[in-house]
Structure 1
Amino acid sequence: MFHLQTLITYDYQLYLMNNDRLMNDIRLIVTDMDGTFLNSEHQVSPEFPEIYEELKRRNILFVPASGRQMSGITKYFGEKEKEMAFIAENGGYMIYKNKEIFADELDEQYVAEIIQTIRKIPGATTVISGKKTAYYETENQSFVDYIAQFYTGNQKLDDLTVALDDSIFKIAVYHPDGSEEHLYPALEKFQKYNLEVVVSGKFWLDIMNKDINKGNALEKLQKTLNISPQQTMVFGDYMNDIEMMKKAEYSYAMQNAHPSVKEAAKFEALSNNNFGVLDTIKNYLNAK
Structure 2
Amino acid sequence: MQNIKMIVTDMDGTLLHSDHTLSPKFKEIYNKLKELNILFVPASGRQYYSIISYFEDIKNELAIIAENGTYVTYKGEEIFVDELDSILVNKIIERVRKIEGANIVLASKNAAYVESTDPVFLEFFKNYYNKSIQVDDLTKIENEKFIKIAINHPEGSEKNVYPKLLEFEENGVKVVVSGEVWLDIMNTKSNKGVALNALIKKLDILPEEIMVFGDFMNDIEMLHLAKYSFAMKNAHPLVKEEANFIAPSNDEDGVLKIIQGYIDQF
Distance in 1 of aligned mates of 2:120 and 2:143: 27
- Alpha-carbon distance, 1:109 to partner: 2.3
Q: Residue type of the partner of 1:279?
A: K
TM-score, normalising length from structure 1? 0.91
Match of 2:114, as an amino acid?
Answer: Y
Q: Show CA shifts across 1:26-72 (max 9, x none).
A: 10000000000000011111111110010010010010000011001
CA distance in 1 between counterparts of 2:96 and 2:145 reads: 21
Cα distance in 2 for residues equivalent to 1:270 and 1:171: 31
Aligned match for 1:40, one of 12, 15, 18: 18
- Alpha-carbon offset, residue 163 of structure 1: 4.3
Aligned pair partner of 2:129 in 138, 151, 154: 151
Counterpart secondary structure, 1:220: helix
How far did residue 118 of structure 1 move?
0.5
Q: What is aligned with 2:171?
A: 193
In structure 1, distance between residues paired with 2:85 and 2:226: 29
- Report whether the alignment pairs 1:264 with 2:234: no
Question: Structure 1 residue aligned with 2:150, among 159, 172, 184?
Answer: 172
Partner of 1:127: 105
TM-score in terms of structure 2 length: 0.98
Q: 2:82 aligns with which of 104, 109, 133?
A: 104
Q: Which moved further from structure 2: 154-163 or 225-234?
A: 154-163
- Looking at structure 2, the residues matched to 132 and 192 of structure 1 have their Cα atoms a distance apart, in angstroms, of 28
1:94 is aligned to: 72
CA distance in 1, matches of 2:7, 2:234: 19
Range with greater deviation from structure 2 (51-60 or 138-147): 138-147
Matching residue's letter, 1:153: K
Q: Deviations over 1:228-260 (max 9, x none)?
A: 111001000000000001111100000000001
Q: Which runs of 5+ in 1 are unaligned?
A: 1-21
Matches within 5 A, 1:225-264: 225-264=203-242
Q: Do the aligned partners of 1:132 and 1:167 also contact (CA within 8 Å) in 2?
A: no
> Between the two proteins, what is the percent identity of the paired residues?
51
Is the CA contact 1:131–1:166 (under 8 Å) kept in the aligned structure 2? no
Q: Does 1:161 align with 2:150?
A: no
Unaligned runs of 5+ in 2: none
Aligned residues: 266
